[in-house]
A and B are shown apart, each in its own frame.
Chain A
Amino acid sequence: MRASVRSGKSPPGVTGRRGLAFGLYATAALMAVMAAVITPLSAYSLNLLMQAATYAIAVLGLTIVLGYTGQINLAQAAFFGIGAYGVALGTTAFGLSFLGALAIGVVLAAGAGAVLGLTSLRLGGHYLAMVTISFQTILTLVLTNWVAFTRGPDGVPNIRRPALLAESGPYLGLCIAALFAVAWFVWWLKTTKLGRAMQAVRDNELAANVIGVDAYATKVAAFTLSAVLGGFGGALFAGGFTYVSPDQFSFAESVVFLTMVLLGGAAAPAGAVLGTGLLILLPEWLRFLKVIYLAVYGGAVILIMIFMPDGIWGYAMTRWRRLRPARPIDPGIIAPLALTRETARADNSVILSVHGLSKHFGGLKAVDAVDLTIHRNTVHALIGPNGSGKTTLLNVLNGIVRPTAGSIALDGVDITRLPPHRRARHGLGRSFQNIRLFGAMSVLDNVIVAAERPRPLPALPRLRARAGRGDGGLECHALGALDFVGIAARAGAQVGSLSYGHQRLVEIARALAGSPKLLFLDEPGAGLNHVEKDELVRLLTRLKGHGLTILIIDHDMAMVERVADHITVLNFGKRIADGTPAEVLRHTDVIAAYLGEERPALSRSYGAS
Chain B
Amino acid sequence: MGFNLQLLFTGIGVGSIYALVALGFALIYRATNVVNFAQGDFAMLGAFAMVVLAIDLELPYWLSILITLALMVGFGALFNLAVYYPLRNRSFLPVIISTIGASILLENGVLAAYGPRPQSLDSIFAVPGFSVGDVFFDSQYIVILVVAVVMVVVQYLFFERTLTGKKMQATSQDKEMASLLGIPVIWMIMLTFMYSAMLGGLAGILVAPVLFVTVGMGSSIALKAFAASIIGGFGDVTGAIVGGLALGVIETFGAAYVSVPYKDAFAFLVLFGFLLVRPQGIFGERISEKA
Contacts and interface: CB of A to CB of B under 8 A. Distances in A.
Interface of A: 66, 72, 119-120, 123, 125-127, 129-131, 133-135, 137-138, 141, 144-145, 206, 251, 255, 258-259, 262, 291-292, 294-295, 297-302, 305-306, 309, 391, 394-395, 398, 400-401, 432-433
Interface stretch (B104-112, B169-177, B187-195, B200-208): B104-112
B271 A391 contact: no
Given A133-B223, A137-B265, A145-B261, 18 more contacts: A127-B230, A130-B271, A137-B264, A137-B268, A145-B262, A259-B97, A295-B105, A295-B112, A297-B104, A298-B103, A298-B104, A298-B107, A301-B98, A301-B100, A301-B101, A301-B105, A305-B87, A401-B288
B246 to A, nearest CB: 16
B60 interface: no
A259 B87 CA distance: 16
B127 interface: no
Nearest to A262: B97
A305 B268 contact: no
B111 A291 contact: yes
Contacts of B268: 133-135, 137-138
Contacts of B111: 291, 294-295
Contacts of A305: 87, 94-95, 97-98, 101
B104 A120 contact: no
B98 A302 contact: yes
B275 A291 contact: no
A297 B101 CA distance: 8
A305 B87 CA distance: 8
Interface string B68-112: 000000000000001100110010111111101111111111011
B108 A295 contact: yes
A129 B268 CA distance: 12
A192 B198 CA distance: 51
Contacts of B35: 126, 129
Contacts, number: 123
B82 A302 contact: yes
Contacts of A135: 268, 272
Give the 5 A-B CB pairs with smallest separation, nearest first.
Answer: A301-B101, A298-B105, A298-B104, A134-B268, A295-B108
A141 B101 contact: no
Contacts of A133: 223, 268
B253 interface: no
B262 A130 contact: no
A119 B86 CA distance: 35
Contacts of B87: 305-306
Contacts of A138: 265, 268-269
A130 B100 contact: no
Interface string B250-291: 000000000101101100110110011001000000001101
A126 B92 contact: yes
Nearest to B272: A134
Contacts of A130: 226-227, 230, 271, 275
A44 B227 CA distance: 41
B48 interface: no
By secondary structure, the A interface counts as: helix
B9 interface: no
A433 B291 CA distance: 8
B18 interface: no
B279 A123 contact: yes
Contacts of A395: 291
Contact of A432 (B261, B262, B291): B291
Contacts of A119: 276
B42 interface: no
Contacts of B92: 125-126
Nearest to A289: B112
A129 B90 CA distance: 18
A468 to B, nearest CB: 30
B141 interface: no
A262 B262 CA distance: 32
Contact of B265 (A72, A127, A141, A294): A141
B42 to A, nearest CB: 15
Contacts of B272: 131, 134-135
A309 B86 CA distance: 11
A262 B105 contact: no
With most chain A CB atoms within 10 A of its CB, the pick from B29, B87, B101, B105 is B101
A511 B223 CA distance: 44
B105 A72 contact: no
A26 to B, nearest CB: 34
A432 to B, nearest CB: 7
Given A295-B112, A391-B291, A141 B105 contact: no
Given A141-B261, A292-B112, A302 B102 contact: yes
A560 B97 CA distance: 49
A516 B231 CA distance: 43
With most chain B CB atoms within 10 A of its CB, the pick from A141, A258, A305 is A305
A294 B215 CA distance: 13
Given A134-B227, A145-B261, A294 B108 contact: yes
Contact of A259 (B100, B289, B291): B100
Contacts of B269: 134, 138
A64 B264 CA distance: 30
Nearest to B94: A305
B262 A306 contact: no
Contacts of A300: 101
A260 B107 CA distance: 20
Contacts of B90: 309
Given A130-B227, A131-B275, A141-B264, A72 B100 contact: no
B290 to A, nearest CB: 8
A255 B100 contact: yes
Given A259-B97, A305-B94, A391-B291, A295 B275 contact: no
Nearest to B34: A126
Contact of B291 (A206, A291, A298): A206
A400 B109 CA distance: 48
Contacts of B271: 130-131, 134
Contacts of A259: 97, 100-101
A493 B87 CA distance: 27
A258 B279 contact: no
A384 B90 CA distance: 35
A66 B106 CA distance: 27
A144 B261 contact: yes
A305 B112 CA distance: 24
A299 B291 contact: no
A272 to B, nearest CB: 15
A299 B101 contact: yes
A351 B90 CA distance: 43
B86 A120 contact: no
Contacts of B100: 255, 258-259, 301
